[in-house]
Chains A and B, each alone.
Chain A
């Protein structure tokens, strides 16, 4: 934009100025890249170093003890159980929240009904209410019905995910023409079939982005799971991390640090790997949805 007239009129000093500004910008970008990646780099390096090596001194270079740390972290099987629990909860809740959010967005977009406007406004308002606010009543309800130490209260509520709905609604408004649905009706398709076989495939890009967001937020969720899961075999990964922290004395001298770094690495690696492959869509998704996680 505007390069033609700037290009011809640019003086030598203006050019130097631009070059300086560009160099400074890259230095700044290098700095923020360092801030974002360096802690993770140290994590990666230290997961390959044994407890003795870590205690011996600081190093920027990896060692050979990744398998040793892995064995120690996996010992006792608690971590495997935690990973499996987290995986079950995150998979089920992300699938449910995406399917039913898409369904709700479709319902409000496609049909005309009396409470349509109210339903939409209602969801927009509840989107602002933090989940912690209703935690007291939620936890009481869970214990009253004996659902503590089950995954049900972590999975089923994902059906009502206002932020996911909002993203889907914006998507169907821009990319789901009502003519397509009319055409399906003419062909004799019933409403559910139209949604499942015609609308849902057309919403794939939005669903893919939201599946990742929903999976990640469930995988990382700590507050509510910690309140309702207290048997060792039911714990999810963030709860295991918090147990690890409680077990390490505040000075930190008593821990096996190779094992600690390894556990942290295992906790975050699934999300990081998925992110590396689909980052482009995720970053676009943040800009489009403009919704905080």
Chain B
């Protein structure tokens, strides 16, 4: 009775307290999101000082994106090329990132190793995550350009100058390397939280049964950590799809020959240059769909992880 009275008299305050968040979200995110989708079906761009459109054109922008002979493409389907570049650079960074982070998380949480100075190491490996990606990329350009310190070392040892930014493989590797350095500390912390969430009695039981640490890792840590690793991998993929700052600055807008151009750099070209809201809207919708599918995956695996851990606890 008392409780019911309370909920009736204070309900309006709930709405008042959440109102600013929702109003701002609707004005600055939801309406722009809807208009992004809408413009993807319109011809709407700037030509000089004139604005063309918005004129409804149906799926023309989408058709142009996938037509090799359209004004957007040069004989190839650019959006697929750039999606490919994005995926390649993501994979090159993400695989070492997961391996390193897993090793670090196991080392930090091991009761047998009792690593000292953990706080120092965690502080150091997380730090690159907070550093401005644009500045990090510029630093790598300074270090790896033809007159930079890396080439000075190479030539002083008798080697020839390596033009890192004129070759696809080395330019992509450097983009991946920056992403790796910026994110492996963050992933380590997430995986550590995951390992510490595993029922400790499992490890104790394994120790009593005489399991080797390799067996413990393979038979307990990995299977129980799997849901979190899947979560980490997919959120990293969603982040990877948004890759922009690092390749934009490091490779000077995707050089050599657009081999380091990502999806969001492609999107950026169409918003910032001709303000082509139609084509950039269509690119956004495509990225949104990919991200949406992946997000559903994340939600599913998170639900799955909840069920799994309950089951394992009952089992013990």
**Footprint of B on A, CB under 8 Å?**
1-3, 5-6, 18, 21-22, 25-26, 28-29, 32-33, 35-37, 39-40, 42-43, 46, 54-55, 57-58, 100-101, 103-104, 106-108, 110-116, 119, 123, 126, 128-141, 143, 153, 156-157, 159-160, 165, 191, 195, 216, 219-220, 222-223, 226-227, 237-238, 241-242, 244-246, 248, 250-253, 257, 260-261, 264, 267-268, 271-272, 275-276, 279-280, 282-283, 286-287, 290, 292-293
* A1–B203 touching, CB < 8 Å: yes
* B207–A160 touching, CB < 8 Å: no
Return the chain A residue nearest B242 by Cβ. Answer: A130
* B135–A238 touching, CB < 8 Å: yes
* B148–A268 touching, CB < 8 Å: no
- Which residues of chain A come closer than 8 Å to B21, judged between CB atoms? 100-101, 103-104, 123, 159-160, 165
Q: Sort chain B's interface into a size bin.
A: 35 or more
- Which residues of chain B come closer than 8 Å to A275, judged between CB atoms? 127, 130
* A126–B17 touching, CB < 8 Å: no
CB distance from A211 to the nearest CB of B (A): 13
* A138–B28 touching, CB < 8 Å: yes
Given contacts A138-B28, A250-B165, A271-B132, contact A244 B184 (CB under 8 A): no
Docked pose: A100 CA to B17 CA in angstroms: 9
Question: How would you classify the secondary structure of chain B's contact residues: helix, strand, loop or mixed?
Answer: helix
**Footprint of A on B, CB under 8 Å?**
6-7, 10-18, 20-22, 24-25, 28-36, 39, 100, 103-104, 107, 110-115, 119, 121-143, 145-149, 152-153, 156, 163, 165-166, 181, 184-186, 189-190, 192-193, 200, 203-204, 207-208, 213, 235, 238-239, 241-242, 244-245, 248-249, 252, 255, 264, 267-268, 271-272, 275, 277, 280-281, 284, 287-288, 291-292, 295, 298
User: What are 18 contact pairs spanning A and B, CB under 8 A?
Assistant: A25-B110, A32-B184, A111-B10, A112-B6, A128-B291, A128-B295, A135-B280, A138-B28, A140-B39, A141-B28, A159-B21, A222-B244, A222-B248, A223-B264, A237-B135, A245-B249, A272-B127, A283-B126
Return the chain A residue nearest B122 by Cβ. Answer: A283
Contact of B103 among A28, A114, A216, A287 (CB under 8 A): A28
Return the chain B residue nearest A1 by Cβ. Answer: B111
CB distance from A39 to the nearest CB of B (A): 6
* A126–B25 touching, CB < 8 Å: yes
CB distance from B254 to the nearest CB of A (A): 12
* A139–B111 touching, CB < 8 Å: no
- Which residues of chain B come closer than 8 Å to A226, judged between CB atoms? 268, 272
* B142–A136 touching, CB < 8 Å: no
Return the chain A residue nearest B119 by Cβ. Answer: A280
* A21–B213 touching, CB < 8 Å: yes
- Which residues of chain A come closer than 8 Å to B30, judged between CB atoms? 134
Question: How would you classify the secondary structure of chain A's contact residues: helix, strand, loop or mixed?
Answer: helix
Number of A-B contacts (CB under 8 A): 329
Given contacts A46-B149, A141-B32, A261-B142, contact A3 B132 (CB under 8 A): no
Closest 9 CB pairs of A and B: A107-B17, A137-B32, A252-B145, A111-B14, A137-B35, A160-B25, A113-B14, A112-B7, A157-B28
CB distance from A67 to the nearest CB of B (A): 20
CB distance from A117 to the nearest CB of B (A): 11
- Which residues of chain B come closer than 8 Å to A253, judged between CB atoms? 146-147
- Which residues of chain B come closer than 8 Å to A35, judged between CB atoms? 181
Given contacts A111-B14, A160-B24, A267-B135, contact A36 B33 (CB under 8 A): no
CB distance from B106 to the nearest CB of A (A): 9
- Which residues of chain B come closer than 8 Å to A223, judged between CB atoms? 244-245, 264, 268
Given contacts A137-B34, A160-B22, A220-B132, contact A42 B244 (CB under 8 A): no
Docked pose: A261 CA to B115 CA in angstroms: 35
- Which residues of chain B come closer than 8 Å to A129, judged between CB atoms? 29, 33, 288, 291
- Which residues of chain A come closer than 8 Å to B186, judged between CB atoms? 286, 292-293
Return the chain B residue nearest A130 by Cβ. Answer: B242
Return the chain A residue nearest B46 by Cβ. Answer: A143
- Which residues of chain B come closer than 8 Å to A131, judged between CB atoms? 29
Docked pose: A40 CA to B242 CA in angstroms: 25
Contact of A244 among B104, B136, B138, B166 (CB under 8 A): B138
- Which residues of chain B come closer than 8 Å to A136, judged between CB atoms? 32, 35-36, 39, 267, 271, 277, 280-281, 284
* A28–B147 touching, CB < 8 Å: no
Return the chain B residue nearest A271 by Cβ. Answer: B130
CB distance from B296 to the nearest CB of A (A): 9
Given contacts A33-B125, A138-B32, A293-B129, contact A111 B13 (CB under 8 A): yes
Given contacts A32-B125, A222-B244, contact A25 B115 (CB under 8 A): yes
Given contacts A58-B152, A156-B24, contact A6 B238 (CB under 8 A): no
CB distance from B63 to the nearest CB of A (A): 18
- Which residues of chain A come closer than 8 Å to B288, judged between CB atoms? 129, 133
Docked pose: A191 CA to B10 CA in angstroms: 9
CB distance from A38 to the nearest CB of B (A): 10
- Which residues of chain B come closer than 8 Å to A113, judged between CB atoms? 7, 11-12, 14-15
- Which residues of chain B come closer than 8 Å to A156, judged between CB atoms? 24, 28
* A241–B249 touching, CB < 8 Å: yes
* A222–B133 touching, CB < 8 Å: yes
Extra contacts, 9 of them, besides A54-B149, A226-B268 (Cβ < 8 A), are A2-B207, A28-B103, A33-B124, A107-B16, A132-B287, A227-B268, A252-B142, A279-B126, A292-B235
CB distance from B118 to the nearest CB of A (A): 9
- Which residues of chain B come closer than 8 Å to A159, judged between CB atoms? 20-21, 24
